[in-house]
Amino acid sequence: MYTATEKKKIVKRTGELKTYIYYHCTRKKKEIACNQRNPLTLKELEDQIDIKLERYTILPKFKEWALEILNRNNDKEIEDRTKIYETQHKSLVDTQKELDTLTRMRYRDLIDDETFIKERDDLKAKIAKLTSHLRETESRAEKWLELTDRTFNFACYARKEYILGGLDKKREIFSALGQNFSVKDQEIHITPNEWFVPIEKAYPALQAEYNRLELDKNLSVEARNAAFAQLILSWGAYWESNPDCEFHKLEC
């Protein structure tokens, strides 16, 4: 566990009283011999977080391309969702009919109480499950579009907001990077969220090529547009085919 400690010190040269913040192990468990005794300054901590954010930061143009690609996929998502919704709705209606029929059979003494109660409870549980799935399906498009917008806004603007933001904003952005935060040998370690995978793997080379094309004054408009089109295809391929991507999990 890490904690922060404030220390005040007078700068001899100027006589100014300055406050320094250090992050260090709490050493809460006295029975454990801690070998992580060197603290991190606030600046060192923030600089490390900034470096990690830089790895997952994209140009606005790549945000536009990614949203266009993923929103195109939303057309297929709508079609798939409609089919699933119709199947789920039919199953719900059929199950409700089974329950109605079972109830009528009991009124007519065609089945005993024990059989009725058991089958009724089974059907009610099935209806509750189907209703839940139906609601999930109804909200799929909304969740999908919300996630795409949130994801690429973060990738595009989070680093700038981190640099300019206050402590609460910095903490919010840092927390959004992933899970399993730890510090070892004065270095921050984070398991990044899965949606960072395509950015980390694909983006650096694509950005380098994008910058090269932007600076190449010898390219004709047609050649530049063709090259950009190829870049878009390459960028989209990662978001459409990456099996670990959170977008694909939402479609399951």
Mean pLDDT of 92-110: 87
pLDDT at 115 over 80: yes
> pLDDT digit string (tens) for 43-97?
999 999 999 999 889 999 888 888 777 776 666 666 777 788 788 888 989 999 9
Q: Check if the beta carbon of residue 1 is closer than 8 Å to that of residue 18.
A: no
- How far is it, in rounded angstroms, from Cα 245 to Cα 248? 6
Query: Is beta strand 2-10 parallel, antiparallel or unpaired with respect to 40-41?
Result: unpaired
Helices of type H across the chain:
42-55, 60-107, 113-138, 140-164, 167-176, 197-215, 221-241, 246-251
Q: What is the pLDDT of residue 141?
A: 56
Label each residue of 111-148 as H, E or C.
CCHHHHHHHHHHHHHHHHHHHHHHHHHHCHHHHHHHHH
AA identity, residue 122: D
**Local confidence band at 34 (pLDDT 50, 70, 90 cut-offs):** confident
Which of 236, 227, 201, 193 shows the shortest CA–CA distance to 62?
A: 236
Which of 67, 72, 167, 87 shows the shortest CA–CA distance to 134?
A: 87
- 136 forms beta bridges with none
Instruction: Evaluate if pTM is beyond 0.75.
Output: no
Pair of tokens at residue 108: 């007519």
Q: Which residue has the tokens 């399906």?
A: 137
Which of 102, 127, 81, 41 shows the shortest CA–CA distance to 252?
A: 81
pLDDT at 252 over 60: no
> pLDDT digit string (tens) for 141-199?
566 666 677 788 888 999 999 999 988 899 889 888 888 888 888 899 999 888 788 88
Phi then psi for residue 197, to 5 deg, are -55, -50
- How far is it, in rounded angstroms, from Cα 47 to Cα 57? 15
Q: What is the pLDDT of residue 208?
A: 92
Q: What is the pLDDT of residue 250?
A: 42
Q: Check if the beta carbon of residue 141 is closer than 8 Å to that of residue 133.
A: no
Strand order in the sheet with 2-10: 2-10, 17-25, 40-41
> pLDDT digit string (tens) for 200-236?
888 899 999 999 998 888 888 889 889 988 888 888 7
Q: Where are the domains of the chain?
A: 57-176+193-252
Mean pLDDT of 2-30: 87
- How far is it, in rounded angstroms, from Cα 77 to Cα 73? 6
- 196: which DSSP letter? G
> pLDDT digit string (tens) for 118-155?
998 998 999 998 888 887 776 665 666 666 777 888 88
Q: What percent of the chain has pLDDT over 90?
A: 17
- 6 forms beta bridges with 21
Q: What is the pLDDT of residue 160?
A: 92
pLDDT at 248 over 50: no
